Structure 1
Amino acid sequence: MSESKAVILGASGTTLTADEIAFYRDERPWGFIVFARNVADARQLRDLTAAMRDCVGRPDAPVFIDQEGGRVQRLRPPLAPDYPPGSALGALYRADRDAGLRAAWLMSRLHAFDLLRYGVNADCLPVLDVPVEGAHDVIGNRAYGKDPEIVTAMGRAAMAGLEAGGVLPVIKHIPGHGRAFADSHHNLPVVDAPLDELRGHDFAPFKALNHAPMAMTAHVVYTAIDPDAPATTSPKAIEDIIRGEIGFDGLLMSDDVSMNALSGDFAARTDAILAAGCDVVLHCNGRMDEMSVVAGRVPVLSGKAAERAESALHGLRRRDDAKEDATRAEFAAMFEAVA
């Protein structure tokens, strides 16, 4: 772990270029992330994730993906079935609480079956954001619902399903993206809600699941916490709210450093993320010019961050004895679209 740098990096295509291989070997990122652009077929994806790990010499190096279901699902048929969005699971919960919880667990357990066969062992799920009426659709039907209690219960079940399958879950977007009226991929959302309102609504699922091994920050300004910086680059948001009030002590990764919600060049963004208290910086798009700057600014994982990283990876060693066919059949009976 001491050899790994505090960064998660993407790749440009379906195979690693010679420049990427040399770069990863030199910079030793702690983890990697894959997107649809990195996926062609089953053998190719297995080869890609194996090549990523070979570059850093760590067979347990985490390879992340956004595999939620609905519109945010990087693996599609035939590599993985199309799954329903979080809102469909939430609707089932509202009709039948036990069925909803079971469906959330089953779908995450199926994600684990799907992902591990291609060498992907970390999923940026569950989404614990709680949207409000009129909020931007960047979260929308990705959320389990607009009730913090439903989001908490379903998020807990989804997280447990991933962990049962030996896949590392990442709760997002802490301390809450559901109230944002802009898409942080393109603009900086500003939330003016008072702190008491945020506590009772936005923070609640994260506080209930503060034992999660990893969390991803929100590129959102909360004026009641810090009017000058989004949570990702705000020491107040991270120290006082995420670590303090919410009580999250797992590995904290930034959302993508290349998103337009952040300001400044990549060196400034990376420095601000680390200075605010994030443990690991995420860079997604695979552009070498950007990755070089980010990797040049991040330190080797050490101290508390290294302990958190090691603890997160420990969960990958546990797996239940669930049978894929039976799990898939049970879920399909609830959602015929994925039969």
Structure 2
Amino acid sequence: MTTRAFIAGCSGFELTPDEVAFFREAKPWGFILFRRNVDHPEQVRALCDSLRDIVGRSDAPILIDQEGGRVQRMGPPHWPKYPSGATYGRLHANDPLVRREITRLGARLIAHDLRAVGITVDCLPVLDVPSPGAHDVIGDRAYGRTPGEVGILGRAAAEGLLAGGVLPVVKHMPGHGRAGADSHLALPVVEASREELERHDFAPFRMLTDMPLAMTAHVVYTALDPEQPATTSRVVMEEIVRGHIGYDGLVMTDDLSMHALSGSFRERTEAAFAAGCDMALHCNGRMEEMGAVAEAAPLLDGDPLRRANAALARIAHDPEPLDPVDARSRLDSALAMIA
């Protein structure tokens, strides 16, 4: 079935007639939900069902940012709060096995919540390593302050999601932790040497190259490409993402509507694909912008199609058994130790 290489957002709790017509014609590979799309479990399940029905694919991926902490689209009263990445990093500082176990457990519980409403992809784990003086856009979303800590707990979270039948997305490749600006609002420029970037920023991503999906960073690294952010830089995509990091999974852009990027939406989309991205991500649900992204996005074919199919094949249709009440009790008990 023909599919176009982009992921789209929508405007509310239900699809509008214009959205139905657009998605039916444009055939995006997947969709992403935000807080504006989330009311209660039955509503989210109905929305997911509608999105898949419109594109005629029961396996169309539906994404969400459900990290925990300050980035959690589904929350009380219908879903529990989850801790930030940094909270997991503070657990039992002298017992790395406990940290990994509880991080995996938290992600397994998130997967349980998501699968129950039809969501099959979580934009987690955050593999960025914050540096002193960096903008707080990453901050406590990170699992630690060293590449090793971030990579180990990032893998634990990814494995918890996979065990629950939800695909992880490693982000923000090749690293947003050194950025001095929030890429939602401005374009960060990082001036560290390539040697330092490879040693510090890129290292966690090299530890998780087997993960099926990755999201780019809208960040300029002057030592690599002083003109273009990673999302639209062929140098970064070829030499770092596919080369130094060695990643052969599907690479999606971060949200193309973020203010870090310049140019029209057609130009942004074309530049991302020219650089080597496999998939465009557009999040805000604005029809005019989505239309431009859809027109510029290619049909899914070749290596991007191979990577997309390989990712979907990783979804566990028989998730690891879980007693959610017992699991939540274990998580809460562990968190109480650092409260």
For each residue in 1:4-54, what CA deviation from the matched residue of structure 2 results, as whole angstroms up to 9, or x when unmatched?
Answer: 110000001110000100100001100000000011111111111110111
The answer (yes or no) to whether the contact 1:79–1:114 under 8 Å persists in 2 is no
Structure 2: how far apart are the matches of 1:122 and 1:113? 12
Structure 2: how far apart are the matches of 1:316 and 1:211? 14
Question: Comparing 91-100 with 308-317, which one deviates more in the overlay?
Answer: 91-100
Once the two structures are TM-superposed, the CA of residue 322 in structure 1 deviates from its matched residue by 2.5
Q: Secondary structure at the match of 2:185?
A: coil
- Match of 2:161? 162
Once the two structures are TM-superposed, the CA of residue 78 in structure 1 deviates from its matched residue by 2.2
Matches within 5 A, 1:31-50: 31-50=30-49
Once the two structures are TM-superposed, the CA of residue 145 in structure 1 deviates from its matched residue by 1.1
TM-score, with structure 2 as normaliser: 0.97
Alignment pair present for 1:254 and 2:253? yes
Cα RMSD of the aligned pairs, angstroms, is 1.3
Q: Secondary structure at the match of 2:254?
A: strand
Q: Secondary structure at the match of 1:117?
A: helix
- Match of 1:203? 202
Letter in 2 for 1:151: V
Matches within 5 A, 1:130-279: 130-279=129-278
Question: Comparing 249-258 with 35-44, which one deviates more in the overlay?
Answer: 35-44
- Match of 2:329? 329
For each residue in 1:282-309, what CA deviation from the matched residue of structure 2 results, as whole angstroms up to 9, or x when unmatched?
Answer: 0000000100110011111001100000
For each residue in 1:139-188, what CA deviation from the matched residue of structure 2 results, as whole angstroms up to 9, or x when unmatched?
Answer: 00000111111001000100000000000100000000000000000000
The answer (yes or no) to whether the contact 1:128–1:205 under 8 Å persists in 2 is yes
- Match of 2:9? 10
Q: Secondary structure at the match of 2:135?
A: coil
Q: Secondary structure at the match of 1:30?
A: strand
The answer (yes or no) to whether the contact 2:164–2:316 under 8 Å persists in 1 is no
Structure 2 runs not aligned, ≥5 long: none
Once the two structures are TM-superposed, the CA of residue 96 in structure 1 deviates from its matched residue by 2.2
Structure 2: how far apart are the matches of 1:28 and 1:93? 47
| Aligned residues with identical type, % of pairs | 54
Structure 2: how far apart are the matches of 1:41 and 1:83? 17
User: After TM superposition, what 4+ stretches of structure 1 lie above 3 angstroms from structure 2?
Assistant: none
Structure 1 runs not aligned, ≥5 long: none
Q: Secondary structure at the match of 2:215?
A: strand
Q: Number of aligned pairs?
A: 337
Structure 2: how far apart are the matches of 1:322 and 1:80? 17
Letter in 2 for 1:323: D
Letter in 1 for 2:210: H
